[in-house]
Structure formats: structure tokens, C-alpha cells
Amino acid sequence: MSEDFQIEIFNFFRKKNIDNFIGVPDSTLKQFISIGLEQKKILITTREEEALGIATGMTLSGSSSLVFMQNAGFANSISTITSLIQLYSIPIIFLIGWRGYLPNDAPEHTKIGKIQPELLKLIGLRSKIITKKNWERNCVWALKQIQQKKPCALVIRRLSNE
Amino acid sequence: MNRKEAIQIISSTIGKEIIVSANGFISRDLFEINDNENNFYMIGSMGLASSIGLGIALKKPKKRVYVFDGDGNILMNLGSLVTVGFLKPGNLIHFILDNNSHESTGGQPTVSNVIQIEKIAKVSGYKIYKVKEKSELKKILTEIEKVSGPILIHIRIGKSHASSKRVTHNPIYIKNRFMRSIN
């Protein structure tokens, strides 16, 4: 229940003319993806990089896009982010579910999870952690970034190990 | 037929249409042969030309979108074939220039001499054409004018060591020029 704000985030971006929601499912982002699927506005791809490619094509066509993924998929996509999204300055909003935020998360997530904020910083992708309390302010920030033709990331932490 | 000849024939036959070209020698050839504002030269992000083309095709349904891809490139993003097949953009035309090698990095082999990429595309829902000779390529380009996609044209090309100059445009310039032209 505590993740209900994800539904509000989806509806907020829809209202603000984000047309495309593309990505690979992540359990941390389940509510966001579920509401998008209900509204038939979600495109699920085979890999995160594929999602970034499709979103780039749509953005080049004048249609704004958000790409969602788990931080494991973000790590997969680093070369695509630096050699496509940042190189051409493609204004896309990333929504990233952060596994491995809690130190006792599943073992496959701990290593990348631990360095997630540093990874974003190292490649220079601006980001904000969003919560139930601050999501609106940070979503407005993200819209401002893409209006200025800059990609950016919003990160949702995984706060339980269920 | 070599890569440059194939690109020459396609770009002169289709005229000024939207083209997304894969990184490496393919973008370099297109840049040298027919640089214009409708070309999106993907200079990094190997494998993603077909995905970028798909995104454009879905948003510009009244325009035809041509992807110039290589065997090494599509093998890095085979998932793209099933996503295209699932979404069925009628305006997407996907060329695979297949020389059975990663020519841009020194001609190392790919598996495309044994595994037929066009067959994977076919079961994914593409309409398939196979070409070896220049005359066949010209004929098929005319033939597909009224065919609804997604279409994959597999072009078997020979290895060629002749490489074109690098794309000298700044990536931001490539993007802005392309967006002004297609929107």
C-alpha cells in the first residue's frame, strides 16, 4: 500500500504529456507498471537498451518518453546511455527501481545496489531519489530537465526485502 | 556487390526518405554517399538502429522508415526482431547488409554464414526478401513500394576493405537537423 504514490506519478506524467512508457519490468516499480498496463500505455521490451533505442526514436519524432527499469538493467545500459542518450542529448526520463539499497537484499543485487548512486554520478546522469513525500517536486524537476533537452533519472528505493 | 555499392543503390532508389544507419562503416558510407537531413547516423550504441527506427516508425505512420543495419549489429539486438514483429509497423523497412563479419573492427567473423538471420525475422513476423545481385536489389526496391511492412531485406554482400571517412557532423547537430526535417 505504501507504494500507491507510483500510481500518482504515472497519472502525473500522463497529464504532463509524456506519451510513451517503455521498459523492462521491475518488482520495485510494480504499481507504476500495473497502472500503465491497465491504461494500455506500457511497452515492454526484451532489454533495457532496446527500450532506450525505441524511446530515442519516439523522442526524435517529437513524442516524449519515459523509460523504466531495474538498476540491474541500468547497469546493463551504461554504454547506450553514454554513446546514445547523452552523446545526442536525447531528453528521456529514466525511472529506476533501486534493488540492493538495503544491505540484506538478494545477493545478486548487493554489489550494483551499493554503487548505484556513484554509477549515476560517474556517468553524469542527473538524478533524484523519489519518495511518497517528495515525488511531485522531483517529477516537476524531471519535466524541467527534459524541456531543457537533458536526460535525467528518478530513482525509487526498494525498502523491503519481501 | 559490396557494402558501399548496396548503400549507393538503395539511397539513390528510395530518394530522400528517413534513414537510420547503424554505427561503423554503414553510417560512414551513407554519410559519404548521400549526406542529408533525413539521415540519423547512429555512431555509437551498437545494435540499436532497428530499435530507433521502430520508435520513429510507430510515431510517423505516414512516412516510411528505412533502417540500414549490419549482421554484427542485429546479432547484438536480436530481441528487436520480435518486438518489431509483435508491433507490426507497416512502414518499417529493415535492410541487413550481411558480410558475415564485423568489418568495422577488422573483419572478424559473425555466425551469419550458418544461422540465417532472415529466418529468425520471418518467424517473428517480417516479410522477407533475399538479395545477392545489384539488379535484384533494384528490382526488389521497386517491388516493395506498395508492400506493407515490416519488411526485412537481407543483402548478401562481399567483404570490402574500402572504408569511407568518419561522420564529421557533431551528434547534436545530426539530431537537431534530423528532428527539424522529419517533424
Nearest CA in chain A to B50: A53
- Tell me the three state secondary structure of residue B76: coil
- A3 is a domain residue: no
Per the structure, the count of domains in chain A is 1
- A108 is a domain residue: no
Q: Does A83 touch chain B (CB under 8 A)?
A: yes
B142, pLDDT greater than 80: yes
A2, pLDDT greater than 70: no
pLDDT at position B163 is 78
Its pTM stands at 0.97
Residue B149 distance to chain A (closest CA, Å): 17
Interface contacts A/B by beta carbons within 8 Å: 102
Chain B residues inside the 8 Å CB shell of A52: 45, 48, 51
Chain A residues inside the 8 Å CB shell of B77: 47, 49-50, 53
Q: Does A95 touch chain B (CB under 8 A)?
A: no
Residue from B42, B45, B91 whose CB has the most chain A CBs within 10 Å, to mutate: B45
pLDDT at position B44 is 96
pLDDT at position A1 is 44
Question: Which domains are assigned to chain B?
Answer: 3-182 (3.40.50.970)
Contacts for B39-44: CB closer than 8 Å, 24+ residues apart: B39/B174, B39/B178, B40/A60, B40/B174, B40/B175, B40/B178, B41/B167, B41/B169, B41/B174, B42/A84, B43/A83, B43/A87, B43/B167, B43/B171, B44/A79, B44/A80, B44/A82, B44/A83, B44/A84, B44/A87
Residue with more model confidence, B171 or A3 = B171
Residues A123-144, mean pLDDT to the nearest whole number: 98
- A112 is a domain residue: no
CB-based contacts of B63, cutoff 8 Å, min separation 6: B17, B18, B91, B182
- A131 is a domain residue: yes
- A30 is a domain residue: yes
Containing domain of residue A77, as a range? Answer: 21-103+125-157
Chain B residues inside the 8 Å CB shell of A46: 79-80, 82-83
Domain harbouring A140, CATH code: 3.40.50.970
- Please answer yes or no on whether A62 and B83 come within 8 Å at the CB atom: no
- Please answer yes or no on whether A84 and B50 come within 8 Å at the CB atom: no
pLDDT at position A70 is 98
Chain A residues inside the 8 Å CB shell of B171: 87-89
The residue among A94, A108, A110 whose CA lies nearest residue A142 is A94
Q: How many other C-beta atoms are found inside a 10 Å radius of the C-beta of residue A75?
A: 16
Question: Taking the CA of residue B177 as centre, how many other CA atoms within 13 Å lie in the half-sphere pointing to its CB?
Answer: 13
Average of per-residue pLDDT values in chain A: 96
Nearest CA in chain B to A50: B51
B61, pLDDT greater than 80: yes
- A77 is a domain residue: yes
The residue among B100, B94, B146 whose CA lies nearest residue B121 is B94
CB-based contacts of B173, cutoff 8 Å, min separation 6: none
Least reliable range by pLDDT among A60-64, B161-165, B175-179: B161-165
DSSP state of B102: E
Chain B residues inside the 8 Å CB shell of A58: 55-56, 58-59
Residues A115-131, mean pLDDT to the nearest whole number: 97
pLDDT (tens digit per residue) in B3-43: 999 999 999 999 899 999 999 999 999 999 999 999 999 99
- Per the CB < 8 A criterion, the answer to whether A145 and A18 are in contact is no
pLDDT (tens digit per residue) in A14-69: 999 999 999 999 999 999 999 999 999 999 999 999 999 999 999 999 999 999 99
- Tell me the three state secondary structure of residue A104: coil
- Please answer yes or no on whether B56 and A61 come within 8 Å at the CB atom: yes
- A26 is a domain residue: yes
